[in-house]
Structure 1
Amino acid sequence: MTEEFNESMIHDIKEGDKVTGEVIELEEKQVIVHINGSKFNGIIPISQLSTHHIDNPSDAVKVGDEVGAYVTKVEYDEENETGNYILSKRQLETEKSYEFLQEKLDNDETIEAKVTEIVKGGLVVDVGQRGFVPASLISTDFIEDFSGFEGETLKLKVEELDPANNRVILSRKAVEAIENAAKKESLLDSLKEGDVIDGKVARLTNFGAFIDIGGVDGLVHVSELSHEHVKSPEDVVNIGEDVKVKVKSIDKDSERISLSIKETLPSPFESIEGEISEGDTIEGKVVRLADFGAFVEIKPGVQGLVHISEISHKHIATPSEALEPGQEVRVKVLGVDIENERISLSIKATEPKDDDSNNQGPSDEESTNSYIDNAADDEDNPTLGDVFGDKLKDFKF
């Protein structure tokens, strides 16, 4: 009879078999399970109850629960005709987890998992077993402190599976990258040239500032940071600073957005209304020379034109014969056009006239009219782009 039972037990339930049963008793370090269709019970040690560390069996199961497990060992006392099965619920859970994760990896699908632990190199998450999100795969942005993720449920993608080494690597960064791409596409479709929107300074370079305008970065060129000349972006804005920007251009193919802070600010010319008038004599600095004259800055961001005929009482062929950039000069205001942001100036009107001078240029009135009143395509009538150089090359009257 013993031989018959032994033979039956060996053939019916063996090591490596999957069994199911009902939890009938919780002990300090193990759980007793009545195995369906078997004369003997199963024992699940506490270490094999869960894929996670637990202190008490009650943390994983309760009496009456139906559980599945692998048979890891068959114990039989032939003399007393007693026996039991050593089981692993953990092994079965791990196998199911790998099957689930492999399916998600094959189909490039997203999963959700709760962060159970913060460790030095990243995040530990519960994916039916212990999963790991390395620091480099937590976010598309640099994150120095991971503590805020503890207890959070994250959207993740499976990056690597290695059952032989019990290795599960996941990525939150991959999910963020997809979300950011969708945001960028939506934003590019909704933005229009001329829109004024809020942004935050994301990073600075020697040629400008990149502004986060809602998950997408646009560039404010250094020439578009201020009405005044800017040597370095750090002189005007700081990383993390909230700013208003105007959309100058959008290139959907290259996904580039050109922005301006300057165009959201009041024009420097507005500040001189009522302060500088025709006939005033003021100090200024030569900032640029052109064939037709010299541009003189009379206030920060405000430049006026000294026509070549207004530089000297003597006839000169080029402005460089009398002036050089950076030179301090005294000028008389010949005309002011706030609306079109033009100021006509004269250096010679502040100096005594030499009777022997050979002035063959136009009179004060003629040169003023040429700059203030004439059409913009007159070569002696520079545009605002001439006044401010490359900084305002896109400005149109």
Structure 2
Amino acid sequence: MPEPSRDPRLEALINRLRPGPVRTVRVIGFDGTDVLVRFVDAEGEEAEVGRIPLREASMRRAEHPSELFEIGQEIEAEEIGRWREGQLHFSARACEVPALRSFLLAMGRGRVVTGTVSGVHDFGVFVHLDGEPKGLCTGFIRVPDLTWTRINHPSEAVEAGQRVTAEVIIAETRSGQVTLSLKALREDPLIRFADQVGQVLTGPITKIIPFGVFVQLAPEVEGLLHLSELTDEPVETPDQLVEEGELLTVRVAEVDLQRHRVRLSAADGADRP
């Protein structure tokens, strides 16, 4: 049975957001809205100069970092990379709440966690994770990670107050957030459908979009039939030819496991408008 490959773009993002080592740094000045710091080595000696961008200074709002730090102050900060000709950058906010950092570091990728949905929005779902520090909401589920089924709004998948079990994608110490996936705990329905390439199937039209239609092929499996496959006649939109709920006979042209897409073509010998 074929396995879906991991999205290389997601892998690159996850690698970039992984927590870095924590260093003790001393504030030595300000450069605009950046905090200039000097790394303090294990012997207490000051080494190279780095900086903390304002967005990485604190979870508290501030117009200028001087509202948060004083010259000579020593703070704990997480290394986040090198910019500006190799200069080391840090995040102080990643270490600002020790209890939160400890909780996030325990949220390893692939860990299965439970929590309660606290809010459902157009852009995703917030979750109070079990064991998170009091007063915080650390879990978040992006819309594409809610379900394998295409939905129009997250409220079709979950509701506020619902208990959920999810898999950790990444815990970000800098944002204080754990990105979760509900669908990761369920098998991709396309895996078992992949052997249907070349088959002629009939199913109802579930959605009409400007350049084609989605057709239901199996439970939780839809395919896209491009407008050019619907007719040889010049038309502007598919709704000039078909309507939602209408049965359509199509051929499965491709099953793309990485992008979770099924491409359809006109079935040989099928009537075309």
What is the TM-score when the length of structure 2 is the normalising length? 0.49
Higher-RCO chain (CA-CA 8 Å, sequence separation at least 6) = 2
More strand as a share of residues: 2
More helix as a share of residues: 1
